[in-house]
Each structure stands twice: as C-alpha cells, then as structure tokens.
Structure 1
C-alpha cells in the first residue's frame, strides 16, 4: 500500500466534553468548578483559561452535536482514503467509555462508535453501485498480562480462544488464553505503517455483524470496581474499522473500453481507530490497594508515556530541533504512532468532571489536551501503488488531450478516433516488444549458461595443461 496524494499537514483537533455532576458527587456536596464561556469554545477552571476547537456539555454546545461537528468529517474522509483516529482521554469516571460507546451492550446506541457504524453503512448503501467495499474490524486492549506477571501486553478482544472469567476475590476481571497461542506483536512495515501481527480481524458485511463484534469485545474487556467507578476500565481499548474500496474510474475517452480492466480501477484502504483510554487516577481517591493499585500505577505509566509523546510533538521548538519522540516507551504510544504526528486525521475528546473534588485532575486533563492541539499530523491518501501510477498516467493523458484541443481549437470526432487508433497501435506494439524482450531474456539466460559452461571447461583445460601435463612429461 502506497501513501500519497493530496494530503496537507493538519493539527490534532481537540474537543472537551464536560459531563454533569453525578449523584455521588451531589451527595458529597460537590460544587461545579468548571466554567464554559457562552458562545466560545473556552473553558475556565480557577485562574486558568483554555481555548479548544469545541466544548460540549455544561453551558457549551449540546453533546448531541459532537458527532456531526467532530466525527462525521472523519468518516467522510475514510471513503477518500484517509486514516482517522478518535481518542478519548480523561480521569477515571469522567465518561470516556460512555462518550465513545465501547461499553456497547444489548444494542445500546449511546456513544460515538455506534453512530460511526450507522453512518458508515448508510454511506456504503448509497455508493455500493459504483464502488466495491470490504469491511474488517479488530478490537484490542492494552493491559496487564495477568495477576502474576505485571507486564503491559496487547490482548485480542475478538479472539474466540480467549475465555472470560468472572471477577476474582480482589475484583480483578481476568482472562485465560489457550496455551500455545503466540502473543500479539507490534510490527512496522517498510513504509512506516504500524500493524499488529496475530490479532483477529473479522470481515463484516452488515451493521448487525459489526455491532456483534463491538459487543463481544466490550464484554471481554478488563474492568474492575473502585471507589470512583463501579465499572472502571482497567485497559486502553482500540476498536479499528478498516475500509477497503475498489472504485471504477471513468475512461479517459468516452466509450473507451480498456483490455486491462485494472487500468480503470482505483484501490483505497483506510483505517479508523476509535480509542478509549483507561482513566488517569489517584490511589487516594480510588481507594485502590493490592493488584488494583498496581494496575493504576501501570495505567498512569502508559498515560505518562503518551503525555511525553504529546509534549515532544506539541512543542514547536522541540519539533524544529528534531527532538526524539519516545513512541517506543510503551505499547500504547507505539500503537498510536500514526495517530499522533503521523498519517491520520485525529480528534481528541478530553472528558472532564466539573466537581470541585476533581479540580486537580480536571486541570491536568485540560493541560494535557491543550498541548495536543499543537501536534501536526500528515494525513495522505492510502492508495495502491498500481492505482497511483495509473492515476498519474490518466492525468497526463487528460492534460495532453486538453493541450491538443487548445492548439487545434477543438478536435473533431475523426481526430479523436485517429488518436484512439494511434494509442491502440502503440499499446499493441508495446505488447509485442515486451514479448520479444521476454524471449530475448530467455535466450540470453541460455547463452549465459553455455558461456559459463565453456569457461568452466577452459578452466579445467588450463589447470590440466599447467598442472598435470608437466608431471606426465617428467
């Protein structure tokens, strides 16, 4: 797959989602410490003020407008061959899973992912007569390997051999993988694309099938109970939709039928990553101990590594100096390498709690998101190399045709027919030359082999004359 065409550098877009106060916070007498400036995408907390691309909730825009304003353009770009990422970040209990929709159960349509699926299939339905589509989904999480080995690992949530286990006495939702299955490996292709070797990729052809994958993965995801959230996500989850499409291109000349059908086809392949990060947390607030405490430490380590990547990419001075970006410090940042500073259109949704008891964590989230706005991505069209070359040739033909018309003051149908016959003759001559070249190369191979055999014979004779013959003479 070649990346190329029409992309321009663009900044990561950041939207803030302010959830309302929940019952527990009201019961504790919490006050609202976040102020949204009416009519402006600005958030104030204490003496600090931040400006973002969009602000939802509280006195900002309604949450229902988030999809149309932030996500719909990414889905449209998917059909043009552009990769995209939606990234939800925030404190534990701030509403990330609800916002993203990775808690999809019993057909619930709440969240960004279910809306993405609906729009995706509606658009495919309208375009299916002129474009052939193939859809694949994968669902992975980055979490602790097990209760015994505290190691960050990538787990496949769609793997049929991965068995769910109920929460243990310490509240850990464990998973047991069938022995012998190799772990998922993060790979980088020759052109810099990050891939997951060994992860399950399911082909889907309907909304129902894709929703079933989302629900299956959501039920398999590692969760646990803390003082701040009864169903706290204990992992970073990434739901990926891959859209492959084969477009039929219009012929350069009206009524033209190419002998090679692939000359009139364009192959595009784009991915949409929908990321629900585990929440940052303080052990004092969550009341975590034992394994749950260690989980929280590793979650914060992963988020710290992500913050270091954002700082390296978001600082203009560091970027100009070519400072090293620490993608390899964690598997999470490695997986998001394309999404942050790479080939993707990215939207970050910073989910925050307005309660004054969470003011410190809310401020940190806003600072985190504010730095992300400075990241420059380089999205390009993901096009098959052959399709890319054919499009260049078609553009040249169209340019030459336009130039011919301009010089001749317009070409008649007879002139066009002559040109088409000339092109057909050139194509036939090219095929004959290719065939002759192939035959010539075959003959050259035989001749080279004979010459090699002759050289070997000469060498043997030479050795005989100068080594053996003197002995016989003597």
Structure 2
C-alpha cells in the first residue's frame, strides 16, 4: 500500500492574535481579607484586626516558630480588611460594586473567594435569606441598571463560539413561539413564576443599588451560565438531565413487572479558544434571563447539583470550584432609535466571573477516605497551580524575566488566563477562620494572598462609542407621545393604531344569517339576509368615514409637522453653522492635543530611558559596592594574615638568630678548646723532651724510663662551651692520655643483657661503663633474655642545661609461668658530663719561657702534684679534665 501520509489534511495554522492598542496602564490585583466570627466551641483566637488594612497573626500555644522556642507574631497588609462585624452590603460596596459598574460599561471582571475549608467562602459569595452575598447583589444591581433598556427575548442570540448575533423582530418572535411551544405545560398558571423559598428575600429593597452613566441608546440582554470544576474536569450545572428508559420486564402476563430508569451522568466539557484568543467552555448552556429573581433561580437550580460532602471540618464542604459567568450583551439602537442595529461588529459582550474556590484542606484533619481523599488531592493540586502561576507572573513583572506561565496545568488557571493577561480587573476575597486549629494553613494562605497583591494586570480599554447622535431612544419616545396626543385632540384613537381599530371593527360585525333555501315560497330568509347585508354596508361606510377622518387628521398633522420641520430645518442650519465652528475649534484642540500627546509620549520615552539607565547605574553601583566590600574584606584579611606571618617570622628569625648565635659560640669555644689542647700537647711534648735532654746531661745519673705526664687542664672560662642543642657537640679527636675504664657497679657474677640502641652516641669520655660477662644487643630478644639474669638499657637524652646525659636502666630477668621471660626494673643509674674549672695558669703556645728561669707549668710536671691531683680526682670521682661521673640509684616497685 502506498503511504498516503502526504495527502493527509494538515493542521490549521494558528491565527495570530489580534493587535490590541498598547496599554501601559496597569492595576494591581485587589486582595481583600474577611475574618469569620469565632465559633462558640472555639476558645483561642489567633487573628487580630489591627487597622482597616492590616491583620496580625498570633501563634497558638504549643506552636513554636523560631529557634529560641518563642512565639512569633506576623502582620499582613491588604487593600482592605473586613472584621467580624462587617455586613454583606458593606462588603459588596467595596468589592463587587466597581466590577458590576465596569460590566455595564463593557469591561470584564473576575472575582473569586479563596481560603481554608470552613472559612466562609460560600457564605461570602452566596449568602443566606436576608443576608444576600456578592452574587445575588451583583445580579440585582445589573437588572436595576438596565431594566428599562432590555431588548426582547431572543433578539440577542449566542453563536456557540463565545460570540453574539443580533436578530430582527420577526426572527425573534418566531424563536419565542418555537421555544414556548417546546416548553412543558405547567401544572398551575403560577408555577413558573413561583420562586424557590430558599432564594426568596435575599436582598432587602432598601439595599438595592443602581449603576450610573448607563447608555440609554443601547439595548441590553443578560446571559447566565454556571459550571463546576470537579477533579480537574468541567461540568455544566445547567445541563438538563437526560433519561434513558429501558424496556420494561414482563411477568408472563399482560402487565409489566416494573420499569427501570437510568440517568446518564453529565458529560465533561472542554475549553476552547475563540477568534479573539479568549478561553471559553465549549457547549456550555447559556440561559437568557430578564430579572434578578429569574437569574438567581437559574443559579440555585445549578447550585443544587454541585458536589458537596460532609467532612469533619465542614458539614457541607464544597468538593469542586464553581464558576458563575454573567454575560452582558449590548448593541446600539438604529438612527431612528426604534430597533436594535443589525450589525454584529457593533455588539459588545462583557462578562463577570464569580468564582467560589474549594477550600484547601489536609486529609489528616478532615478524616477523608476513599473518594474524599482523591477530591482533596485534586483541590489542593489546582490551588497549588494557581499559586505557581501567580508566583511566575510576579517574578516576570518584578525581575523582567520571560518565564512561561503554566496556565494549562489546571482548568482553573487555563480558563482565566485572559484576565491575568489584561482582559479585565481581578479581585480576590481571602476568607480566614480565626480559630487556633487553622493557624498553620491560614499562615500559608496569608503569604500567598500578600504575594498576589504584587501582580499587576493591564487596565481594560474602553469600548468605542457608536457614531449615531445620542438621545435617539428619548426622541423616539417623545415623538410617539406627541403623535398620540395629536390624534387624541383630532378625535382619533388614543391608545391604538389604525390597523388594530379596523381589526376590532371587523371582529365586531354582526354574523350573517343562514342562506339555505329549502322552500321556494320562503319569504323570511331573503329579507333577513338583505337586512344583514345593508347593516354591514352601513358599517363599511362608517368605517370609510372614520378612516377618511383619521387620514385627514393625519394629513393635517403631517402638514403641521412639515411646517415645524421647516422651522426646525432652519434652526438646524443655524445650529449646524455653530457646530461647524465648534468642529473647527475641536479640530484645533485635537491637533494641539495630539501634539501634546506626542510630546508626552516622547517625554515618557525619555523618562523610561532615564529610569532604565538609572537602574543600570544603580545595579552597577550596587555590584561595584559589593565588589569593593569584598575586596576590602579580602585586603583586611590579607593584612591580618601578613601581620600574623610577620609576627611569626619575627619570632622564627629571633629564635633562629639566638639558636645560631649559641651554635656559633659553641663551635668557637669548641674550636678554641681543640686548638688549646693541641698547643698544650705540643708544649708538654717539648717540656718532656727538654727534661729528658736536661737529665741526660747530668753526669752519673741513669736515664729514667719514659713516663706519661698529666696534661695541663685549661681554665673553665676557656673550656666552657655554649649550651648544646639536641645534637652532641664535637669532641677532641685526640687525647694526650690513654682512656681509663671504670668497672660498673653492675659488674658481678651475674650474666647481663647489655641493650644499647643503635642510636646511642659515643661521647668519648675517659670513664665508660663496661659490663663484663654480658651479651650486647641493639634490640632485646627472647633468646638473649633466656641466657641472662640481669638486664640493662642504655638511654641517652638532652638534659635541661643542653648537655647529653646517659641513663642506665637496670632490672632483673624473671621467668613467667608460661615459659617466657619478663623484666622487672629495679633502679636507674645516671651518667652526666659537666665542665669544671681547674686552678692554674693557662699557657699559650705563643708565650716563651718565663723570666727568671721560673717554670709556669711546674705544678703539672711535678710528679707529686700530678699524683695528688689524680688521687683527688679519684676521690671526687673525676674522670679526666672537665668530666664528672655521678651515680644515682632509684628503687621502683616491681
């Protein structure tokens, strides 16, 4: 088969929207707040009316709102706040009356109530007997204003495409007859005029309102449609319920058993767009009404079909959004002021939508189950979509963004998108319940309502005025009154025209007698017939005379009117000349006005440019100020970091300087000591050599064996180094004497484990601890411990004066029950080297032999002196020049 997709009919291209005159004037959405009286069972009130435009919310007990656990009070401002004592009439004056006045003057309007379930929205919109709400009062004001100027029924006719057509009088008459013939016959003559007792006495006569400035040269007609949005589906509440009668069941005899009747549920409607890109409900029934009572009766008929349910919060809770659409069609009269002008382009259609939104609710509080949960979810979702659209509109207007408003996500927002795009005024009445249980939900409602006030809607444009001269209806009525008065003066009919008089006379003629002749000798029938015909002839002559008289009277009246018209023509010419002069003045004023308007537009354009430039400069200034503040903060932070680093570096530099000064002093002293020791060794060698030479020259004395002399000890000032750091200072690489070793106190018959870590340093001292019969290890092992009885650990650390001290930590090796070994420490022996000062004259290498043959180093070269010094050193535990060995024993508990 061939693919015929290319032959399919394509979609109709979308028509571009009609060009509307630019309208820069915008009005914010009017938001009003109404507080419901507190119920008898409720004790705590969380709402307080502060002024005529401000309310304050108090958090109830147990509801904490801030971090400190304190109660928070918030205030919200609206265009007007109505307290509990406000009447329905005062509410109508401030809210709905301006919208009805705009409706009569050809402008659209939208009014909807919003709030939590049980807050009084339906009462505000509908009211009760004796306390009519916004809806019945709006209908009453409409018909009070246009009552004398209403067109006959079916003169205006809907075209099912959200438009209006105008029919002539004949077509309207035929339409009325056809509709009346199709209506069912009422049971009683007054059954159709009888009102429902629930809608009687809704408005008191003294509370009636009437609009000003109604165009008397136009004819009006009112159409009412009522829909509900249930579960995001649109249903027509005025649709007649159809019955489908199923065939009856028979019981086998000649009579039916029973007859079942099944009601077909109403079908949902769809939204469509008309040629002006306005949204409307397709196929919705629009009823033409001629009085406020009839309109409210139609509304009440649909109200009984609305979805309501009983919940824990409301006995009759609305489960759908209801919308009453009031359309007012008006068209100008023709030039004679008698009939409606047959021009569809001259018909103006304005509408007022009164919306009763279902209340937002929480299923946990309402106790909803099954179907009620689904209804509550759809209600909350549609209200959430409404909030989203309002937020995006506000963001686009305040921030200059161009985000798409999601009108199509919900039927409520899709139906009323034209109003937010500039097709009329928008007003909202927020109803709140002051009881404490609704505080949290009321808080959300208040935030949304306060945000809605910031959305601006374009002001509707005034409809064009018809080109005919005003006052046509009044002149036509005056002409008819004058004609009837002149006919009365001339003896003509007073309240009836000539065709009606003739028709009346024809119907009042005497009947003709029977003309049947059964007997040729009948002398009665013919004379009676002749008499009746003669009587009819006389009546005809009288009618001719009356007609001639009326025609003459009319002719005379027309002649008089011609004379009057001639005089009026002259007067009209004079007035026309004056009007021409006035027209010239008007044209001059118009030219001047156009010039001023152009200049005004130019100035407005300049003002807009200056405002935009100022805004740009302000934004740049704000951004630069923020950047400057950021840079200042960064600079302050960098300065503080720099100061902190400088302080730290000063400390480091001072510490490093002090450390290096000490290290330099220590190295200089060590180098001086090393050089002095070298010079001292050389001097001693020279002295020994000189002594040997001197003794060898003495005759008769044998040569003594060579002996090792004790070198001269330098003074403490020359040998005292600076405080050492963690690393040990270098020691002299050579010493003039053989190092002597001293037996440790630990020397004995026991076998030792000598634990010397690899990090231990050889200090090069004269006396070193030597442990015989020991096993030297760098790390203890179980094998070494099993062979020994005692344990010693060599530990080195830096003392408080900067010198390195060695600790010998001793203990006993004990066998454990498990076959292993453990060490129980018993005492600690500390080895520490210190510099001491030895008395005696320090000899420099540069000095020569002292004068007078006195030896400066005789104290050291003398054997007796050296022995005494050695004995003194042994007695004081001295271990060489500049070194001491201290033993400290401490006992610890095992």
RMSD: 3.3
2:230 aligned partner: 143
Query: Is 1:17 the equivalent of 2:40?
Result: no
Q: 1:98 aligns with which of 87, 108, 123?
A: 123
Q: Deviation digits for residues 369-406 of structure 1, max 9, x if unmatched?
A: 111111221242485xxx67969xxxxxxx99755357
Q: SS state of the match for residue 429, structure 2? A: strand
2:113 aligned partner: 88
CA contact (8 A) 1:6 1:381 kept: no
Distance in 2, matches of 1:202 and 1:136, equals 5
TM-score with structure 1 setting the length: 0.69
Kindly state the Cα deviation for residue 238 of structure 1 after the two structures are TM-superposed: 0.2
CA contact (8 A) 1:278 1:299 kept: yes
Pairing of 1:308-387 with structure 2 (within 5 A) = 308-315=388-395, 320-381=400-461, 383=463
TM-score with structure 2 setting the length: 0.38
Q: Deviation digits for residues 142-175 of structure 1, max 9, x if unmatched?
A: 013xxxxxxx210110001268xxxxxxxxxxxx
Query: Is 1:110 the equivalent of 2:123?
Result: no
Q: SS state of the match for residue 230, structure 1? A: coil
* Unaligned residue ranges in structure 2 (runs of 5+): 1-16, 59-72, 151-215, 244-261, 469-578, 589-894
Q: 2:584 aligns with which of 390, 404, 410?
A: 404
CA contact (8 A) 2:35 2:84 kept: yes
- Residues 1:4 and 1:51: Cα distance change in structure 2 (over 3 Å): same
Query: Is 1:122 the equivalent of 2:144?
Result: yes
Kindly state the Cα deviation for residue 192 of structure 1 after the two structures are TM-superposed: 2.0
Kindly state the Cα deviation for residue 208 of structure 1 after the two structures are TM-superposed: 2.0
Q: Deviation digits for residues 179-231 of structure 1, max 9, x if unmatched?
A: 7x763110122422011101111111112210111101110000001000010
- Residues 1:4 and 1:269: Cα distance change in structure 2 (over 3 Å): farther
Kindly state the Cα deviation for residue 177 of structure 1 after the two structures are TM-superposed: 6.7
Distance in 2, matches of 1:317 and 1:77, equals 25
Pairing of 1:160-171 with structure 2 (within 5 A) = 160-161=240-241
Query: Is 1:242 the equivalent of 2:327?
Result: yes
Q: Which has the higher strand share?
A: 1
CA contact (8 A) 2:425 2:460 kept: no
Pairing of 1:258-337 with structure 2 (within 5 A) = 266-315=346-395, 320-337=400-417
* Unaligned residue ranges in structure 1 (runs of 5+): 145-151, 164-175, 392-398, 409-474
Q: 1:79 aligns with which of 101, 104, 116?
A: 104
Q: Deviation digits for residues 380-438 of structure 1, max 9, x if unmatched?
A: 2485xxx67969xxxxxxx9975535799xxxxxxxxxxxxxxxxxxxxxxxxxxxxxx
Q: SS state of the match for residue 365, structure 1? A: helix
Pairing of 1:19-58 with structure 2 (within 5 A) = 19-23=36-40, 25-26=41-42, 30-38=43-51, 40-46=52-58, 47-58=73-84
Distance in 1, matches of 2:115 and 2:133, equals 16
CA contact (8 A) 1:80 1:381 kept: no
Kindly state the Cα deviation for residue 267 of structure 1 after the two structures are TM-superposed: 2.8
1:464 aligned partner: none
CA contact (8 A) 1:312 1:323 kept: yes
Q: SS state of the match for residue 447, structure 2? A: helix
Kindly state the Cα deviation for residue 317 of structure 1 after the two structures are TM-superposed: 5.5
2:312 aligned partner: 227
Q: SS state of the match for residue 198, structure 1? A: coil
Distance in 2, matches of 1:403 and 1:207, equals 44
- Residues 1:306 and 1:380: Cα distance change in structure 2 (over 3 Å): same
- Residues 1:120 and 1:317: Cα distance change in structure 2 (over 3 Å): closer
Kindly name which structure, 1 or 2, has the bigger radius of gyration based on alpha carbons. Answer: 2
Q: SS state of the match for residue 132, structure 2? A: coil
2:762 aligned partner: none
Distance in 2, matches of 1:356 and 1:67, equals 28
Q: Deviation digits for residues 42-68 of structure 1, max 9, x if unmatched?
A: 011132111111111247x55541110
CA contact (8 A) 2:332 2:466 kept: no
- Residues 1:91 and 1:261: Cα distance change in structure 2 (over 3 Å): closer
CA contact (8 A) 1:139 1:214 kept: yes
Query: Is 1:68 the equivalent of 2:93?
Result: yes
Distance in 2, matches of 1:77 and 1:380, equals 10
Q: SS state of the match for residue 111, structure 2? A: strand
1:209 aligned partner: 294
Distance in 2, matches of 1:238 and 1:110, equals 18
- Residues 1:117 and 1:298: Cα distance change in structure 2 (over 3 Å): same
Distance in 2, matches of 1:358 and 1:56, equals 19
CA contact (8 A) 2:88 2:133 kept: no
Distance in 1, matches of 2:233 and 2:587, equals 65
Kindly state the Cα deviation for residue 314 of structure 1 after the two structures are TM-superposed: 2.3
Distance in 2, matches of 1:315 and 1:72, equals 31
Q: 2:274 aligns with which of 177, 181, 189?
A: 189
Q: SS state of the match for residue 220, structure 1? A: coil
Distance in 2, matches of 1:54 and 1:278, equals 23
Kindly state the Cα deviation for residue 119 of structure 1 after the two structures are TM-superposed: 0.8
Kindly state the Cα deviation for residue 293 of structure 1 after the two structures are TM-superposed: 1.3
Q: Deviation digits for residues 97-150 of structure 1, max 9, x if unmatched?
A: 01000x77xx66521101111111111125555321111000000013xxxxxx
Q: SS state of the match for residue 22, structure 1? A: coil
Q: Deviation digits for residues 266-295 of structure 1, max 9, x if unmatched?
A: 532100000000000011111111111111
Report 1 or 2 for greater relative contact order, CA contacts < 8 Å, sequence distance ≥ 6: 1
Kindly state the Cα deviation for residue 343 of structure 1 after the two structures are TM-superposed: 0.8
CA contact (8 A) 1:83 1:379 kept: no
Distance in 1, matches of 2:371 and 2:383, equals 18
1:396 aligned partner: none
1:395 aligned partner: none
CA contact (8 A) 1:184 1:197 kept: yes
Q: 1:131 aligns with which of 218, 221, 232?
A: 218
- Residues 1:325 and 1:316: Cα distance change in structure 2 (over 3 Å): closer
Q: SS state of the match for residue 139, structure 1? A: strand
- Residues 1:209 and 1:33: Cα distance change in structure 2 (over 3 Å): same
Distance in 1, matches of 2:235 and 2:295, equals 19
Alignment size in residue pairs? 363
